[in-house]
Protein backbone atom coordinates (compact mmCIF):
# COMPACT_ATOMS: atom_id res chain seq x y z
CA UNK A 1 0.00 0.00 0.00
CA UNK A 2 1.48 3.35 -0.99
CA UNK A 3 2.22 5.97 1.57
CA UNK A 4 1.07 9.49 1.35
CA UNK A 5 3.56 12.00 0.15
CA UNK A 6 3.66 13.95 3.41
CA UNK A 7 4.94 11.13 5.45
CA UNK A 8 8.05 12.13 7.35
CA UNK A 9 9.39 8.61 7.81
CA UNK A 10 10.52 8.12 4.15
CA UNK A 11 13.74 9.61 2.82
CA UNK A 12 13.56 12.40 0.25
CA UNK A 13 14.46 11.63 -3.45
CA UNK A 14 14.94 14.13 -6.24
CA UNK A 15 12.19 14.10 -8.76
CA UNK A 16 13.17 12.90 -12.21
CA UNK A 17 12.42 15.29 -14.97
CA UNK A 18 12.11 13.87 -18.58
CA UNK A 19 14.29 15.63 -21.19
CA UNK A 20 13.02 15.64 -24.76
CA UNK A 21 15.20 13.65 -27.39
CA UNK A 22 17.02 15.57 -30.12
CA UNK A 23 15.36 15.19 -33.48
CA UNK A 24 18.52 15.11 -35.53
CA UNK A 25 20.66 12.89 -33.39
CA UNK A 26 22.05 9.83 -35.22
CA UNK A 27 22.41 6.60 -33.41
CA UNK A 28 25.84 5.04 -33.61
CA UNK A 29 24.38 1.66 -34.31
CA UNK A 30 23.32 2.74 -37.78
CA UNK A 31 26.83 3.72 -38.85
CA UNK A 32 27.89 0.15 -39.63
CA UNK A 33 25.12 -0.66 -42.16
CA UNK A 34 25.52 2.77 -43.67
CA UNK A 35 29.20 2.22 -44.25
CA UNK A 36 28.45 -1.22 -45.69
CA UNK A 37 25.96 0.26 -48.11
CA UNK A 38 28.42 2.90 -49.22
CA UNK A 39 31.14 0.32 -49.76
CA UNK A 40 28.77 -1.94 -51.66
CA UNK A 41 27.64 0.90 -53.84
CA UNK A 42 31.20 1.91 -54.54
CA UNK A 43 32.11 -1.67 -55.46
CA UNK A 44 29.05 -1.95 -57.68
CA UNK A 45 29.90 1.26 -59.49
CA UNK A 46 33.51 0.18 -59.82
CA UNK A 47 32.43 -3.22 -61.20
CA UNK A 48 30.16 -1.53 -63.69
CA UNK A 49 32.87 0.88 -64.73
CA UNK A 50 35.52 -1.85 -65.05
CA UNK A 51 33.29 -4.49 -66.60
CA UNK A 52 34.59 -5.71 -69.97
CA UNK A 53 32.62 -6.61 -73.06
CA UNK A 54 30.53 -9.78 -73.36
CA UNK A 55 30.95 -11.77 -76.57
CA UNK A 56 29.59 -14.95 -78.10
CA UNK A 57 31.65 -17.53 -79.99
CA UNK A 58 30.04 -20.37 -81.91
CA UNK A 59 31.77 -23.71 -82.46
CA UNK A 60 30.82 -26.92 -84.17
CA UNK A 61 31.26 -28.85 -80.92
CA UNK A 62 31.54 -28.00 -77.26
CA UNK A 63 34.51 -30.29 -76.65
CA UNK A 64 36.85 -28.69 -74.13
CA UNK A 65 34.40 -25.89 -73.17
CA UNK A 66 33.11 -25.60 -69.58
CA UNK A 67 31.20 -22.64 -68.07
CA UNK A 68 33.11 -20.80 -65.35
CA UNK A 69 36.37 -22.71 -66.00
CA UNK A 70 37.40 -22.34 -69.64
CA UNK A 71 39.67 -19.31 -69.98
CA UNK A 72 40.25 -17.04 -72.97
CA UNK A 73 43.92 -16.29 -73.49
CA UNK A 74 45.90 -13.96 -75.69
CA UNK A 75 49.65 -14.62 -75.82
CA UNK A 76 49.11 -16.98 -72.85
CA UNK A 77 47.59 -14.19 -70.69
CA UNK A 78 44.06 -14.60 -69.27
CA UNK A 79 41.74 -11.94 -70.68
CA UNK A 80 38.36 -13.56 -70.08
CA UNK A 81 36.33 -16.58 -69.04
CA UNK A 82 33.48 -18.54 -70.55
CA UNK A 83 30.25 -17.93 -68.55
CA UNK A 84 27.86 -20.24 -70.37
CA UNK A 85 27.80 -22.90 -73.07
CA UNK A 86 24.47 -23.57 -74.81
CA UNK A 87 23.20 -25.02 -78.05
CA UNK A 88 22.33 -22.70 -80.90
CA UNK A 89 18.62 -22.35 -81.73
CA UNK A 90 19.05 -24.58 -84.82
CA UNK A 91 20.93 -27.21 -82.75
CA UNK A 92 23.75 -27.26 -85.32
CA UNK A 93 26.38 -25.39 -83.35
CA UNK A 94 27.42 -24.58 -79.79
CA UNK A 95 27.40 -20.98 -78.57
CA UNK A 96 29.82 -20.01 -75.81
CA UNK A 97 29.23 -16.73 -73.98
CA UNK A 98 32.34 -15.15 -72.46
CA UNK A 99 33.15 -12.08 -70.43
CA UNK A 100 36.40 -10.33 -71.27
CA UNK A 101 38.40 -7.78 -69.39
CA UNK A 102 37.96 -4.12 -70.23
CA UNK A 103 41.45 -4.01 -71.73
CA UNK A 104 40.35 -6.48 -74.41
CA UNK A 105 37.68 -4.16 -75.85
CA UNK A 106 39.96 -2.75 -78.52
CA UNK A 107 40.91 -6.30 -79.61
CA UNK A 108 37.39 -7.24 -80.68
CA UNK A 109 37.42 -6.27 -84.35
CA UNK A 110 35.84 -7.83 -87.39
CA UNK A 111 38.69 -10.23 -88.26
CA UNK A 112 39.67 -11.29 -84.73
CA UNK A 113 39.95 -15.07 -84.53
CA UNK A 114 39.12 -17.54 -81.75
CA UNK A 115 39.80 -21.28 -81.54
CA UNK A 116 39.86 -24.00 -78.90
CA UNK A 117 43.37 -25.03 -77.87
CA UNK A 118 43.48 -28.77 -77.30
CA UNK A 119 46.04 -31.50 -78.12
CA UNK A 120 46.32 -31.78 -81.93
CA UNK A 121 48.50 -33.55 -84.47
CA UNK A 122 48.27 -31.86 -87.85
CA UNK A 123 50.63 -31.22 -90.73
CA UNK A 124 53.43 -33.06 -88.98
CA UNK A 125 53.26 -30.76 -85.92
CA UNK A 126 51.99 -31.45 -82.39
CA UNK A 127 50.30 -28.60 -80.49
CA UNK A 128 48.34 -28.10 -77.28
CA UNK A 129 50.25 -30.71 -75.27
CA UNK A 130 50.14 -28.45 -72.18
CA UNK A 131 46.36 -28.66 -72.08
CA UNK A 132 46.59 -32.32 -71.07
CA UNK A 133 47.17 -31.10 -67.48
CA UNK A 134 45.71 -27.58 -67.40
CA UNK A 135 42.66 -28.24 -69.55
CA UNK A 136 41.54 -26.71 -72.84
CA UNK A 137 41.23 -22.96 -73.33
CA UNK A 138 40.20 -20.57 -76.10
CA UNK A 139 43.03 -18.93 -77.98
CA UNK A 140 42.69 -15.49 -79.53
CA UNK A 141 44.43 -13.62 -82.34
CA UNK A 142 43.87 -9.88 -82.93
CA UNK A 143 42.71 -8.78 -86.37
CA UNK A 144 43.85 -5.79 -88.36
CA UNK A 145 40.50 -4.17 -89.20
CA UNK A 146 38.85 -1.35 -87.24
CA UNK A 147 35.19 -2.36 -87.26
CA UNK A 148 34.07 -3.65 -83.83
CA UNK A 149 32.34 -6.97 -83.39
CA UNK A 150 30.82 -8.99 -80.54
CA UNK A 151 29.65 -12.22 -82.19
CA UNK A 152 32.33 -14.51 -83.65
CA UNK A 153 32.57 -17.89 -85.38
CA UNK A 154 35.35 -19.93 -83.87
CA UNK A 155 37.96 -21.70 -86.00
CA UNK A 156 37.97 -25.48 -85.95
CA UNK A 157 41.69 -25.56 -86.77
CA UNK A 158 44.19 -23.20 -85.09
CA UNK A 159 45.75 -20.67 -87.49
CA UNK A 160 49.22 -21.59 -88.68
CA UNK A 161 50.66 -18.16 -87.97
CA UNK A 162 49.56 -15.22 -85.88
CA UNK A 163 48.66 -11.85 -87.30
CA UNK A 164 51.50 -9.38 -87.47
CA UNK A 165 54.12 -11.98 -88.46
CA UNK A 166 56.28 -10.47 -91.23
CA UNK A 167 55.79 -12.11 -94.58
CA UNK A 168 53.30 -12.43 -97.42
CA UNK A 169 50.48 -14.77 -98.30
CA UNK A 170 50.00 -16.22 -101.81
CA UNK A 171 47.31 -18.24 -103.59
CA UNK A 172 48.06 -21.45 -105.49
CA UNK A 173 45.80 -23.19 -108.01
CA UNK A 174 46.16 -26.97 -108.33
CA UNK A 175 44.26 -29.87 -109.88
CA UNK A 176 44.30 -31.83 -106.62
CA UNK A 177 45.48 -31.48 -103.03
CA UNK A 178 47.82 -34.44 -103.05
CA UNK A 179 49.28 -35.20 -99.61
CA UNK A 180 49.28 -31.57 -98.47
CA UNK A 181 47.62 -30.36 -95.28
CA UNK A 182 47.42 -27.20 -93.22
CA UNK A 183 50.90 -26.66 -91.81
CA UNK A 184 52.72 -28.50 -94.61
CA UNK A 185 56.11 -26.82 -95.16
CA UNK A 186 57.08 -24.61 -98.08
CA UNK A 187 60.70 -24.89 -99.27
CA UNK A 188 63.01 -22.60 -101.18
CA UNK A 189 66.23 -24.29 -102.29
CA UNK A 190 65.57 -27.06 -99.69
CA UNK A 191 65.24 -24.47 -96.88
CA UNK A 192 61.86 -24.25 -95.12
CA UNK A 193 60.57 -20.70 -95.52
CA UNK A 194 56.82 -20.99 -95.00
CA UNK A 195 53.81 -23.22 -94.64
CA UNK A 196 50.38 -23.99 -96.03
CA UNK A 197 47.75 -21.96 -94.15
CA UNK A 198 44.47 -23.10 -95.72
CA UNK A 199 42.91 -24.87 -98.70
CA UNK A 200 39.48 -25.21 -100.24
CA UNK A 201 37.77 -26.81 -103.20
CA UNK A 202 36.97 -24.46 -106.07
CA UNK A 203 33.34 -23.51 -106.55
CA UNK A 204 33.10 -25.37 -109.86
CA UNK A 205 34.91 -28.43 -108.48
CA UNK A 206 37.61 -28.26 -111.14
CA UNK A 207 40.51 -27.81 -108.77
CA UNK A 208 41.81 -26.77 -105.36
CA UNK A 209 42.94 -23.36 -104.11
CA UNK A 210 45.67 -23.28 -101.47
CA UNK A 211 46.88 -20.40 -99.34
CA UNK A 212 50.56 -20.37 -98.40
CA UNK A 213 52.46 -17.97 -96.19
CA UNK A 214 56.12 -17.23 -96.89
CA UNK A 215 57.98 -15.71 -93.97
CA UNK A 216 60.13 -12.62 -94.31
CA UNK A 217 62.78 -12.11 -95.58
CA UNK A 218 62.26 -15.10 -97.89
CA UNK A 219 59.06 -13.66 -99.34
CA UNK A 220 61.13 -11.32 -101.49
CA UNK A 221 62.22 -14.32 -103.59
CA UNK A 222 58.66 -14.87 -104.78
CA UNK A 223 58.66 -13.02 -108.10
CA UNK A 224 56.03 -12.58 -110.77
CA UNK A 225 57.29 -15.59 -112.74
CA UNK A 226 58.08 -17.87 -109.78
CA UNK A 227 57.14 -21.54 -110.22
CA UNK A 228 55.56 -23.61 -107.42
CA UNK A 229 55.43 -27.40 -107.42
CA UNK A 230 54.48 -30.26 -105.09
CA UNK A 231 57.47 -31.65 -103.23
CA UNK A 232 55.47 -34.29 -101.38
CA UNK A 233 57.03 -37.69 -100.84
CA UNK A 234 59.50 -39.02 -103.40
CA UNK A 235 59.22 -37.88 -106.99
CA UNK A 236 59.98 -40.92 -109.15
CA UNK A 237 59.67 -40.47 -112.90
CA UNK A 238 60.21 -42.92 -115.73
CA UNK A 239 60.71 -41.14 -119.02
CA UNK A 240 62.94 -41.20 -122.06
CA UNK A 241 65.82 -40.05 -119.89
CA UNK A 242 65.56 -43.09 -117.61
CA UNK A 243 64.65 -43.30 -113.92
CA UNK A 244 64.76 -40.03 -111.96
CA UNK A 245 64.46 -39.70 -108.16
CA UNK A 246 63.99 -36.38 -106.38
CA UNK A 247 62.84 -35.14 -102.94
CA UNK A 248 63.13 -32.00 -100.84
CA UNK A 249 63.64 -33.42 -97.34
CA UNK A 250 62.74 -36.28 -95.03
CA UNK A 251 59.86 -34.19 -93.63
CA UNK A 252 58.36 -33.71 -97.09
CA UNK A 253 58.53 -37.48 -97.63
CA UNK A 254 56.45 -38.07 -94.50
CA UNK A 255 53.95 -35.17 -94.49
CA UNK A 256 54.27 -33.56 -97.91
CA UNK A 257 55.29 -30.04 -98.83
CA UNK A 258 55.70 -27.41 -101.52
CA UNK A 259 58.70 -25.83 -103.15
CA UNK A 260 59.23 -22.79 -105.34
CA UNK A 261 61.97 -21.29 -107.46
CA UNK A 262 62.37 -18.56 -110.03
CA UNK A 263 62.00 -19.27 -113.73
CA UNK A 264 65.18 -20.50 -115.45
CA UNK A 265 65.44 -17.40 -117.65
CA UNK A 266 64.18 -14.92 -115.03
CA UNK A 267 65.88 -11.52 -115.24
CA UNK A 268 64.95 -8.45 -113.12
CA UNK A 269 61.39 -9.56 -112.41
CA UNK A 270 59.50 -7.57 -109.76
CA UNK A 271 58.40 -9.15 -106.49
CA UNK A 272 54.92 -10.62 -106.43
CA UNK A 273 52.18 -8.69 -104.65
CA UNK A 274 50.50 -10.22 -101.57
CA UNK A 275 47.84 -12.83 -102.42
CA UNK A 276 49.11 -13.17 -105.97
CA UNK A 277 47.82 -16.28 -107.76
CA UNK A 278 50.26 -18.92 -109.06
CA UNK A 279 49.83 -22.31 -110.69
CA UNK A 280 50.89 -25.32 -108.62
CA UNK A 281 52.59 -27.99 -110.76
CA UNK A 282 52.85 -31.67 -109.92
CA UNK A 283 56.62 -31.98 -110.38
CA UNK A 284 59.65 -29.76 -110.55
CA UNK A 285 60.38 -30.83 -114.13
CA UNK A 286 56.92 -29.73 -115.22
CA UNK A 287 57.19 -26.45 -113.31
CA UNK A 288 60.58 -25.52 -114.72
CA UNK A 289 59.66 -26.20 -118.33
CA UNK A 290 60.26 -23.36 -120.71
CA UNK A 291 57.11 -21.35 -121.38
CA UNK A 292 57.15 -20.42 -125.04
CA UNK A 293 55.29 -17.46 -126.45
CA UNK A 294 54.49 -19.15 -129.78
CA UNK A 295 52.73 -22.52 -129.68
CA UNK A 296 51.49 -24.32 -132.81
CA UNK A 297 49.31 -27.41 -132.64
CA UNK A 298 49.82 -30.28 -135.09
CA UNK A 299 48.69 -33.89 -135.45
CA UNK A 300 51.00 -36.81 -136.22
CA UNK A 301 48.96 -39.75 -137.52
CA UNK A 302 50.70 -43.07 -136.79
CA UNK A 303 49.58 -46.47 -138.08
CA UNK A 304 51.72 -48.40 -135.64
CA UNK A 305 51.49 -49.13 -131.94
CA UNK A 306 52.15 -46.16 -129.65
CA UNK A 307 52.58 -48.26 -126.54
CA UNK A 308 55.11 -46.41 -124.34
CA UNK A 309 54.15 -42.96 -125.63
CA UNK A 310 52.55 -40.78 -122.94
CA UNK A 311 51.09 -37.30 -122.73
CA UNK A 312 53.98 -34.94 -122.06
CA UNK A 313 56.51 -37.02 -123.99
CA UNK A 314 59.00 -34.82 -125.85
CA UNK A 315 59.01 -34.00 -129.54
CA UNK A 316 62.68 -34.04 -130.44
CA UNK A 317 64.63 -32.59 -133.34
CA UNK A 318 68.18 -33.96 -133.38
CA UNK A 319 68.46 -33.80 -129.59
CA UNK A 320 66.58 -30.53 -129.08
CA UNK A 321 63.11 -30.65 -127.53
CA UNK A 322 60.87 -28.62 -129.82
CA UNK A 323 57.48 -29.72 -128.52
CA UNK A 324 55.52 -32.16 -126.39
CA UNK A 325 52.66 -34.61 -126.75
CA UNK A 326 49.31 -33.08 -125.82
CA UNK A 327 46.84 -35.91 -126.50
CA UNK A 328 46.67 -39.44 -127.92
CA UNK A 329 43.51 -40.58 -129.72
CA UNK A 330 42.26 -43.17 -132.20
CA UNK A 331 40.76 -42.70 -135.67
CA UNK A 332 38.84 -45.06 -137.94
CA UNK A 333 38.92 -44.68 -141.71
CA UNK A 334 35.64 -46.11 -143.10
CA UNK A 335 36.99 -46.06 -146.67
CA UNK A 336 40.20 -48.01 -146.01
CA UNK A 337 38.63 -49.81 -143.03
CA UNK A 338 41.65 -49.34 -140.83
CA UNK A 339 42.54 -47.68 -137.55
CA UNK A 340 45.24 -45.10 -136.95
CA UNK A 341 46.54 -43.24 -133.90
CA UNK A 342 46.46 -39.44 -134.26
CA UNK A 343 48.79 -37.81 -131.72
CA UNK A 344 48.25 -34.13 -130.99
CA UNK A 345 51.39 -32.17 -130.14
CA UNK A 346 52.27 -28.67 -129.03
CA UNK A 347 55.03 -27.44 -131.33
CA UNK A 348 57.31 -24.55 -130.31
CA UNK A 349 58.67 -23.04 -133.53
CA UNK A 350 60.93 -20.60 -131.68
CA UNK A 351 63.04 -23.54 -130.51
CA UNK A 352 63.07 -25.09 -133.96
CA UNK A 353 64.50 -22.12 -135.84
CA UNK A 354 65.84 -19.24 -133.82
CA UNK A 355 68.09 -18.32 -136.78
CA UNK A 356 66.84 -19.96 -139.91
CA UNK A 357 68.81 -17.77 -142.28
CA UNK A 358 72.59 -17.72 -142.04
CA UNK A 359 74.01 -14.44 -140.82
CA UNK A 360 70.63 -12.86 -140.10
CA UNK A 361 70.03 -11.86 -136.47
CA UNK A 362 66.64 -11.84 -134.87
CA UNK A 363 65.45 -14.61 -137.16
CA UNK A 364 62.73 -15.95 -134.86
CA UNK A 365 59.81 -17.54 -136.59
CA UNK A 366 57.04 -15.14 -137.33
CA UNK A 367 54.75 -14.17 -140.10
CA UNK A 368 53.73 -17.01 -142.41
CA UNK A 369 54.72 -20.09 -140.40
CA UNK A 370 52.37 -22.14 -142.57
CA UNK A 371 54.55 -21.61 -145.63
CA UNK A 372 57.62 -22.52 -143.59
CA UNK A 373 56.05 -25.78 -142.40
CA UNK A 374 54.98 -26.66 -145.94
CA UNK A 375 58.49 -26.04 -147.23
CA UNK A 376 60.05 -28.24 -144.54
CA UNK A 377 57.64 -31.09 -145.24
CA UNK A 378 58.31 -30.90 -148.97
CA UNK A 379 62.02 -31.25 -148.18
CA UNK A 380 61.47 -34.47 -146.24
CA UNK A 381 60.51 -33.39 -142.74
CA UNK A 382 58.68 -36.29 -141.09
CA UNK A 383 57.72 -37.48 -137.61
CA UNK A 384 58.81 -40.89 -136.34
CA UNK A 385 58.32 -42.89 -133.15
CA UNK A 386 61.57 -43.83 -131.42
CA UNK A 387 62.54 -45.59 -128.22
CA UNK A 388 63.92 -43.21 -125.63
CA UNK A 389 64.96 -45.79 -123.03
CA UNK A 390 65.38 -49.54 -123.29
CA UNK A 391 64.99 -49.73 -119.51
CA UNK A 392 61.57 -48.08 -119.32
CA UNK A 393 60.31 -48.69 -122.85
CA UNK A 394 59.25 -45.07 -123.13
CA UNK A 395 58.77 -43.63 -126.61
CA UNK A 396 59.21 -40.12 -127.94
CA UNK A 397 58.51 -38.46 -131.28
CA UNK A 398 61.51 -37.56 -133.40
CA UNK A 399 61.15 -34.91 -136.09
CA UNK A 400 63.84 -35.14 -138.75
CA UNK A 401 64.48 -35.04 -142.48
CA UNK A 402 64.07 -38.27 -144.47
CA UNK A 403 65.18 -37.58 -148.07
CA UNK A 404 64.06 -41.02 -149.28
CA UNK A 405 60.60 -40.76 -147.76
CA UNK A 406 57.63 -40.76 -150.14
CA UNK A 407 56.48 -37.36 -151.26
CA UNK A 408 53.86 -35.82 -148.98
CA UNK A 409 52.40 -32.47 -148.03
CA UNK A 410 50.69 -30.89 -145.06
CA UNK A 411 46.98 -31.55 -144.64
CA UNK A 412 45.72 -28.09 -143.80
CA UNK A 413 42.08 -29.16 -144.07
CA UNK A 414 42.22 -30.75 -140.63
CA UNK A 415 42.29 -28.80 -137.41
CA UNK A 416 44.90 -29.06 -136.06
CA UNK A 417 46.79 -29.55 -139.35
CA UNK A 418 48.26 -32.97 -139.96
CA UNK A 419 51.98 -33.55 -140.57
CA UNK A 420 53.14 -36.73 -142.39
CA UNK A 421 54.93 -39.51 -140.56
CA UNK A 422 57.22 -42.44 -141.36
CA UNK A 423 57.30 -45.82 -139.61
CA UNK A 424 59.65 -46.15 -136.69
CA UNK A 425 62.79 -48.29 -136.75
CA UNK A 426 61.10 -51.10 -134.87
CA UNK A 427 58.07 -50.92 -137.13
CA UNK A 428 60.31 -51.06 -140.20
CA UNK A 429 62.01 -54.13 -138.78
CA UNK A 430 58.64 -55.70 -138.12
CA UNK A 431 57.52 -54.92 -141.67
CA UNK A 432 60.71 -56.48 -143.05
CA UNK A 433 60.24 -59.58 -140.93
CA UNK A 434 56.61 -59.76 -142.03
CA UNK A 435 57.63 -59.51 -145.70
CA UNK A 436 60.29 -62.17 -145.20
CA UNK A 437 57.77 -64.48 -143.57
CA UNK A 438 55.35 -63.84 -146.44
CA UNK A 439 58.04 -64.85 -148.93
CA UNK A 440 58.92 -67.91 -146.90
CA UNK A 441 55.27 -68.87 -146.88
CA UNK A 442 55.31 -68.91 -150.69
CA UNK A 443 58.06 -71.58 -150.77
CA UNK A 444 56.48 -75.10 -151.32
CA UNK A 445 58.14 -76.70 -148.32
CA UNK A 446 55.68 -79.60 -148.46
CA UNK A 447 56.55 -80.50 -152.07
CA UNK A 448 60.25 -80.09 -151.36
CA UNK A 449 59.83 -82.38 -148.39
CA UNK A 450 58.13 -85.03 -150.53
CA UNK A 451 60.88 -84.83 -153.17
CA UNK A 452 63.55 -85.00 -150.51
CA UNK A 453 61.83 -87.99 -148.93
CA UNK A 454 61.79 -89.79 -152.35
CA UNK A 455 65.47 -88.99 -152.88
CA UNK A 456 66.31 -90.37 -149.47
CA UNK A 457 64.39 -93.56 -150.27
CA UNK A 458 66.32 -93.96 -153.53
CA UNK A 459 69.62 -93.40 -151.73
CA UNK A 460 68.62 -95.95 -149.13
CA UNK A 461 67.94 -98.54 -151.86
CA UNK A 462 71.28 -97.74 -153.52
CA UNK A 463 73.12 -98.24 -150.24
CA UNK A 464 71.43 -101.57 -149.74
CA UNK A 465 72.48 -102.63 -153.29
CA UNK A 466 76.06 -101.57 -152.61
CA UNK A 467 76.05 -103.48 -149.37
CA UNK A 468 74.80 -106.72 -150.93
CA UNK A 469 76.48 -106.71 -154.37
CA UNK A 470 79.40 -104.31 -154.53
CA UNK A 471 80.66 -104.59 -151.00
CA UNK A 472 81.94 -108.25 -151.23
CA UNK A 473 83.90 -107.55 -154.43
CA UNK A 474 85.27 -104.36 -153.01
CA UNK A 475 86.31 -106.29 -149.92
CA UNK A 476 88.32 -108.80 -152.08
CA UNK A 477 89.92 -105.96 -154.04
CA UNK A 478 91.00 -104.28 -150.86
CA UNK A 479 92.45 -107.51 -149.58
CA UNK A 480 94.55 -107.94 -152.80
CA UNK A 481 95.71 -104.36 -152.62
CA UNK A 482 96.82 -104.84 -149.07
CA UNK A 483 98.88 -107.90 -150.17
CA UNK A 484 100.54 -105.87 -152.94
CA UNK A 485 101.40 -103.09 -150.55
CA UNK A 486 102.97 -105.54 -148.13
CA UNK A 487 105.16 -106.96 -150.92
CA UNK A 488 106.23 -103.49 -151.98
CA UNK A 489 107.08 -102.65 -148.40
CA UNK A 490 109.28 -105.71 -148.11
CA UNK A 491 110.95 -104.91 -151.39
CA UNK A 492 111.76 -101.32 -150.42
CA UNK A 493 113.30 -102.11 -147.08
CA UNK A 494 116.98 -100.91 -146.65
CA UNK A 495 118.35 -104.42 -146.20
CA UNK A 496 116.64 -105.85 -149.26
CA UNK A 497 118.58 -106.83 -152.41
CA UNK A 498 116.77 -104.33 -154.57
CA UNK A 499 117.62 -101.54 -152.17
CA UNK A 500 121.35 -102.53 -152.17
CA UNK A 501 121.44 -102.78 -155.97
CA UNK A 502 119.77 -99.45 -156.24
CA UNK A 503 122.44 -97.95 -153.98
CA UNK A 504 125.31 -99.32 -156.12
CA UNK A 505 123.63 -98.11 -159.25
CA UNK A 506 123.33 -94.64 -157.80
CA UNK A 507 127.03 -94.67 -156.92
CA UNK A 508 127.97 -95.62 -160.46
CA UNK A 509 125.77 -92.87 -161.79
CA UNK A 510 127.56 -90.44 -159.48
CA UNK A 511 130.99 -91.50 -160.77
CA UNK A 512 129.79 -91.27 -164.37
CA UNK A 513 128.50 -87.77 -163.73
CA UNK A 514 131.88 -86.79 -162.25
CA UNK A 515 133.72 -88.09 -165.33
CA UNK A 516 131.40 -86.17 -167.63
CA UNK A 517 131.98 -83.06 -165.55
CA UNK A 518 135.80 -83.45 -165.84
CA UNK A 519 135.49 -83.98 -169.62
CA UNK A 520 133.38 -80.88 -169.97
CA UNK A 521 135.86 -78.79 -168.04
CA UNK A 522 138.77 -80.11 -170.17
CA UNK A 523 136.98 -79.39 -173.46
CA UNK A 524 136.20 -75.94 -172.19
CA UNK A 525 139.91 -75.36 -171.69
CA UNK A 526 141.05 -77.29 -174.83
CA UNK A 527 138.33 -77.18 -177.47
CA UNK A 528 140.84 -78.21 -180.14
CA UNK A 529 141.02 -81.63 -178.56
CA UNK A 530 137.80 -82.50 -180.43
CA UNK A 531 139.82 -82.32 -183.69
CA UNK A 532 143.37 -83.16 -182.74
CA UNK A 533 142.64 -85.37 -179.85
CA UNK A 534 144.34 -85.34 -176.54
CA UNK A 535 148.13 -84.89 -176.85
CA UNK A 536 150.36 -87.52 -175.46
CA UNK A 537 151.82 -86.80 -172.10
CA UNK A 538 155.51 -85.98 -172.19
CA UNK A 539 157.79 -88.26 -170.37
CA UNK A 540 160.10 -86.70 -167.88
pLDDT in tens, 223-256: 988 999 988 756 666 555 555 666 555 555 556 7
**Does position 354 have pLDDT exceeding 60, yes or no?**
no
Which pLDDT score is estimated for 277?
93
CA neighbours closer than 13 Å in the CB half-sphere of residue 8: 0
pLDDT at 304 over 80: yes
Kind plus residue range of the DSSP H or E element containing 285:
helix 284-287
Of 25-29, 67-71, 119-123, 200-204, the least confident: 25-29
| Per-residue pLDDT at 491 exceeds 70 | no
540 pLDDT tier (thresholds 50, 70, 90): very low
Say yes or no to pLDDT of 201 above 80.
Answer: yes
What tens digit of pLDDT does each residue of 43-65 get?
A: 777 666 667 889 999 999 888 88
The whole-number pLDDT of residue 522 equals 75
CA-nearest of 323, 408, 402, 417 to 369 is: 417
Range in 25-34, 124-133, 465-474 the model is least confident about: 124-133
C-alpha 355/C-alpha 92 separation (Å) is 69
pLDDT above 80 (res 333): yes
Q: What is the model's pLDDT at position 86?
A: 93
Q: What's the CA gap between 49 and 402, in Å, rounded?
A: 94
Q: Give the per-residue pLDDT at 254.
A: 56
Name the pairing type of β-strands 277-281 and 227-230. Answer: parallel
- So what's the pLDDT on residue 119? 76
The reported pLDDT for the residue numbered 284 is 83
**CA distances (Å), origin 488, targets 103, 474, 491, 498:** 143, 21, 5, 11
Residue 59: per-residue pLDDT: 92
What phi-psi label fits residue 133: left (phi over 0), alpha (psi between -120 and 50 degrees) or beta? alpha
C-alpha 418/C-alpha 299 separation (Å) is 5
Give percent above pLDDT 90 in the chain: 14
**Which has the higher per-residue pLDDT, 227 or 472?**
227
Instruction: Name the H helices within 413-528.
Output: 425-442, 445-465, 471-491, 497-525
**What average pLDDT does this structure show over 269-296?**
84
- Quick one: pLDDT band at residue 497, thresholds 50, 70, 90? low
The mean-pLDDT minimum among 399-403, 447-451, 465-469 falls in: 465-469
Average pLDDT (412-421) is 85
Higher-pLDDT residue of 491, 86: 86
Across 73-78, average pLDDT: 88
Predicted confidence (pLDDT) at residue 356 exceeds the cutoff of 50? no
Residue 343 has a pLDDT of: 92
The kind and range of the H/E element at 370 are helix 369-378
Read off the pLDDT of each residue in 331-335 and give the average, rounded to a whole number: 88
Q: What is the pLDDT of residue 437?
A: 73
More confident residue, 110 or 4: 110
**For residue 1, what pLDDT is reported?**
46
Exposed e or buried b for every residue in 85-109, given b needs 16+ CB within 10 A? beeeeeeeebbbebbbbeebeebbe
Higher pLDDT, 175 or 526: 175
Evaluate if residue 539 carries a pLDDT over 60.
no
Provide the pLDDT for residue 353.
59
Above 60 in pLDDT, residue 112? yes
Mean pLDDT of the chain: 78
**In this structure, what are the phi and psi dihedrals at residue 10, rounded to the nearest 5 degrees?**
-80, 150
Choice among 120-129, 268-277, 334-343 with the minimum mean pLDDT: 120-129
The full set of domain ranges for the chain reads 50-153, 167-287, 296-424, 465-520
54, 87 Cβ separation under 8 angstroms = no
Distance CA 239, CA 314 (A): 9
Please report the pLDDT score of residue 373 as a whole number.
Answer: 81
Query: Which among 325, 300, 296, 297 is positioned nearest to 420, based on CA atoms?
Result: 300
What is the rounded (10 degree) CA torsion for 510, 516, 522, 527? -170
- Give 211-227 pLDDT, tens digit per residue: 999 999 999 999 988 99
Amino acid sequence: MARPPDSHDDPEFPEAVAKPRSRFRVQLVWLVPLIAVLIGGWLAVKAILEKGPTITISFVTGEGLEAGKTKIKFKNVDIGVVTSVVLAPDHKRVVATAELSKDATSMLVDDTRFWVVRPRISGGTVSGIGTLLSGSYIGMDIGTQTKERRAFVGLEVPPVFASGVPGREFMLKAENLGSLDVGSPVYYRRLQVGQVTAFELDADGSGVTLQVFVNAPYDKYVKGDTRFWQASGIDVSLDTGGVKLNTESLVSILIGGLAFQGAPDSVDVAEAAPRSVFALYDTRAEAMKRHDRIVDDYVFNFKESVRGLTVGAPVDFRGIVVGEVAAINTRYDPVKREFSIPVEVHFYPERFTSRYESGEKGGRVGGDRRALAQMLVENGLRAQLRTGSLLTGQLYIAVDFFPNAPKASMNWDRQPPEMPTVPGGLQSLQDSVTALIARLNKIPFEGIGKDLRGTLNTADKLLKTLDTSVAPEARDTLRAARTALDAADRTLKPDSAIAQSTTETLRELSRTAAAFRALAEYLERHPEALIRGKPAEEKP
